[in-house]
Amino acid sequence: MDGIGTAISAEENRHCEKAVTNAKNTGVNMERMIEVKNVTKKYGAFTALDNLSLSVKKGEIFGFLGHNGAGKTTTTNILTTLLEPTSGSATVAGFDIITQSIDVRRNIGYVPENVQLYDTLTAYENLEFFARLSEITDPKTAIDETLAFLQATSFAHMKIGELSKGMRQRIGLAQAIIHKPPVLFLDEPSAGLDPTGIRQLRDIILRLNKEEGTTIFMNTHLLVEVAKTCTAIGVLNHGKLIYTDTLANTLKRFQNEDSLEQIYFSIDSDSNEK
């Protein structure tokens, strides 16, 4: 367990104030909750990310698209401080991912593609464990409220090993949002979910964004879901950002395409032809 997404709920306001003060001091624009500047990541001789720059505004639901191996997870791992870039810089919630990594972690939640939980503990016990690690002052209230928000109270006392993929993923989400982070990262959140699970997840993402004001950065291949949830998109191709804009502008710009899927193929094939 890496502690990502297990920050300090009781001190949330203090952190938010610190984020704002920090932003003022460093001149970081807090309207941009995520700012990536010229990030390159090399694995040995292989360049996974090539001079990537992008920004995500506060309150946005950003869909990060790209073929398998494009570099989406690498980007997320860098922004969540799990991995250092080879060069370049980035801020999340106004904090530098390298020099202020602890502050970044306090201000984010992360649901990786394969949610890491203790199978032999119940959902509630897992959340209690994370809440304690995060020094949440009133873990019971935080857990109860989070489970209620996610409509997961009914399976709170089942062991993780006994949960379906969808239920398990909901507890992973609970772990990531229990401290009400201003920024939430999701890596392929719909992977393996049935249509009902996908719809429930969509509702949760939209409610988190609307009710809590959470900025969401989501790696995904499900373009239908992107069309229904995202306010902006970015397209990565072999480690390079080949497109980014709001969803509304994108739909306007590609008026002749029938669907976001067609738009995606049009953007991607243009890039491959270059």
Q: Are 60 and 215 in contact (CB under 8 A)?
A: yes
E strand or H helix at 40: strand 32-43
The least CB distance from residue 185 to ligand ATP, in Å, is: 12
Fill in the amino acid letter for 42. Answer: K
- x/- mask, ligand ATP, residues 67-106, rule CB under 6 A, reads -xxxxxxx--------------------------------
Contacts of 161-167 with C-beta under 8 Å, sequence gap 24+, read: 161/119, 161/120, 163/123, 165/192, 165/193, 165/197, 166/193, 166/194, 166/196, 166/197, 166/200, 167/123
Query: Does 265 sit near ligand ATP (CB under 6 A)?
Result: no
Task: Identify which of residues 69 and 213 has a Cβ nearer to ligand ATP in the complex.
Answer: 69
Task: Identify which of residues 66 and 94 has a Cβ nearer to ligand ATP in the complex.
Answer: 66
Query: Does 45 sit near ligand ATP (CB under 6 A)?
Result: no
Task: Identify which of residues 96 and 188 has a Cβ nearer to ligand ATP in the complex.
Answer: 188
Reduced to 3 DSSP states, what percent helix, strand and coil does the chain have, rounded to the nearest 5? 40, 25, 35
E strand or H helix at 229: helix 223-229
User: Which residue stretch of 8-16, 65-73, 146-154, 227-235 sits at the interface with ligand ATP (rule: CB under 6 A)?
Assistant: 65-73
- Per CB under 6 A, the list member of 21, 26, 31, 43 interacting with ligand ATP is 43
Residue with tokens 């904090």: 95
Query: Does 197 sit near ligand ATP (CB under 6 A)?
Result: no
Write out the residues near ligand ATP by the rule CB under 6 A. 43, 46, 48, 66, 68-74
